[in-house]
A and B are shown apart, each in its own frame.
Chain A
Amino acid sequence: MDKDAPRNHHDLGGISKFMCEAVDTTPHTLTDFDKQVDAVRGILGAKGIMTVDELRRGIESIPEAEYHRLSYYRRWVRSMTSILLQKGVITETELRAALESG
């Protein structure tokens, strides 16, 4: 039974709609993308720019529909981007220019 609570969407322990899905426990290989994202996270941590605690908060802040659509490491990228924008480490303009230059 689900409590009618003002919980955040990631706080999904005991929520019935997530209790009937089998968990895929098959070992899987990390992609190059996954490894690059992990490396960037490591650099941001080593340089003291952002912590894993902030990363987690940023992941939890992803809107619900997007959160469930994104892969594990895409959530990381989404979180790192919004935290870096919030802290003023990068600007929207710089981000757009970098994305357009491919």
Chain B
Amino acid sequence: MFAPGTAVRVKNDWPETRGPAHVRTPHYLRGMQGTVVRHLGTFPNPEDLAFARPAPMRALYHVRFAQPAVWQEGRSGDELQVELYEHWLEPA
């Protein structure tokens, strides 16, 4: 579990390139560093549910990113908050 305030990095992983995949992590966040805001709950992994496979429970977090670093636009202080599953996050 990640505590609020923990610096995390989104895995720079591309399951889409390895065959049929259902991914909830937006492409523009892969490899980006953000900060955990809060734990939202624990849910069956949607990547497995999409294929009707047994789905292990995964923690879901709100993670906040500085927007200029993500899209190379916006002002300092602009932020982006996205829901991400624990298996996409690693300590930064």
- Listed in ascending order, the chain A residues whose CB lies under 8 Å from chain B are 1, 3, 5-8, 11, 13-14, 50-51, 53-54, 56-57, 60-61, 87
Contact = CB atoms under 8 A, between A and B. Distances in A.
Interface string B50-67: 111000000000000000
Interface string B38-53: 0000000010011110
Contacts of B30: 5
B81 to A, nearest CB: 13
Interface residues of B, number: 20
Interface string B6-47: 000000001011001111001110100000000000000010
Contacts of B16: 6-8, 11
Give the interface SS of chain B, mostly helix, strand, loop or mixed.
loop
A57 B26 CA distance: 15
B76 interface: no
Given A3-B28, A8-B16, A13-B28, A51 B49 contact: yes
10 contacts: A3-B27, A13-B26, A14-B26, A14-B28, A51-B52, A53-B46, A54-B52, A56-B22, A56-B50, A57-B50
Contact of A6 (B17, B20, B22, B73): B17
A54 B47 CA distance: 10
A13 B51 CA distance: 23
B27 A60 contact: no
A13 B81 CA distance: 13
A64 B78 CA distance: 32
A1 B27 CA distance: 13
Contacts of A14: 26, 28, 70-71
B63 to A, nearest CB: 15
Given A6-B17, A11-B26, 14 more contacts: A1-B71, A1-B73, A5-B27, A5-B30, A6-B14, A7-B16, A8-B21, A11-B23, A13-B26, A14-B28, A51-B52, A54-B49, A56-B50, A61-B20
